[in-house]
């Protein structure tokens, strides 16, 4: 009896191609057809050598050089980093020109924080006013008092801001992935 071989690891990810449809690889070669496996034979070095992709669409968007989004399946040897992975095999499951979708996502992101516009302007004007008034002793005392009050609550706010950023990132990623998955052809891999 022989031992079962481990099943090759496969990861669904996102990758943006360069150039116009149907897209080109970053090195200038034409992108392979959907379903064709692209292989890398050299060493894998994250961010430098190998076939790259990101598990999360919002991470892939950071590296995008065009609007051509691909849903890919990564396999072979895979090494994962914080926001991207590198692998020896990558297969495009489907691709789409996502320009309209990315513009809609950008609008959604802007509208999700529009309520912060007025407090941001107020803070900017307050900072400007404190700069103008800092020459006087009274203003300096007010600035010092405000700074000490702000410092007292800073530790709690650091934790709250980190949690809010993580939550916002997750919400944005879920929204972007849902929008991009809507571009998949009928029966396309999710």
Give burial (CB, 10 Å; 0-12/13-18/19+) of 128: exposed
Residues 99 and 67: beta-carbon distance below 8 Å: yes
Region 173-183 average pLDDT: 91
Instruction: Kindly list the domain boundaries of the chain, sorted by start residue.
Output: 11-99, 102-181
Q: What are phi and psi of 5, to 5 degrees?
A: -80, 145
| pLDDT at residue 170, as a whole number | 86
Angle at 105 between CA 178 and CA 93, to 5 degrees: 45
Structure tokens given for 59? 């991470």
Q: What is the pLDDT of residues 22-61, one digit of tens each?
A: 999 988 999 999 999 999 999 999 999 999 999 999 999 9
In the 8-state DSSP scheme, what is residue 114? G
Q: Which residues of 147-160 are buried (b: 16+ CB within 10 A; e: fewer)?
A: eeeeeeeeeeeeee
- Residues paired with residue 38 on neighbouring β-strands, in sequence order: 90
Closest CA to 80 of 52, 38, 43: 52
Q: What is the pLDDT of residue 61?
A: 93
What pLDDT band is residue 141 in, cutting at 50, 70 and 90?
Answer: very low
Please determine, for residue 183, whether its predicted confidence score (pLDDT) is greater than 70. yes
Average pLDDT, whole number, for the chain?
A: 81
Separation between Cα atoms, residue 167 and residue 161, nearest integer Å: 10
**CB-neighbour burial class of residue 124 (10 A; exposed 0-12, middle 13-18, buried 19+):** exposed
CA distance 110 to 82: 25
What SS3 state is found at 18? strand
């Amino acid at each position: 009896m022989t031992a079962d071989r481990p099943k090759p690891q496969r990861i669904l990810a996102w990758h943006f191609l360069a150039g116009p449809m149907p897209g080109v690889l970053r090195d200038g070669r034409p992108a392979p057809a959907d379903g064709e496996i692209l292989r890398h034979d050299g060493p894998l070095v994250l961010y430098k050598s190998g076939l790259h992709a990101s598990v999360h669409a919002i991470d892939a968007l950071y590296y995008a050089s065009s609007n051509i989004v691909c849903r890919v399946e990564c396999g072979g040897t895979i090494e994962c980093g914080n926001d991207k992975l590198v692998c020896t095999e990558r297969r495009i499951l489907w691709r789409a020109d996502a320009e309209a979708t990315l513009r809609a996502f950008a609008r959604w992101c802007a509208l999700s924080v529009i309520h912060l516009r007025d407090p941001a302007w107020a803070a900017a004007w307050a900072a400007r006013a404190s700069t103008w008034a800092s020459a006087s002793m009274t203003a300096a005392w007010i600035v010092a008092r405000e700074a000490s009050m702000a410092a007292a609550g800073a530790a709690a706010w650091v934790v709250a801001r980190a949690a809010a950023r993580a939550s916002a990132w997750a919400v944005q990623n879920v929204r972007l992935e849902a929008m991009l998955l809507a571009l998949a052809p009928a029966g396309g891999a999710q």
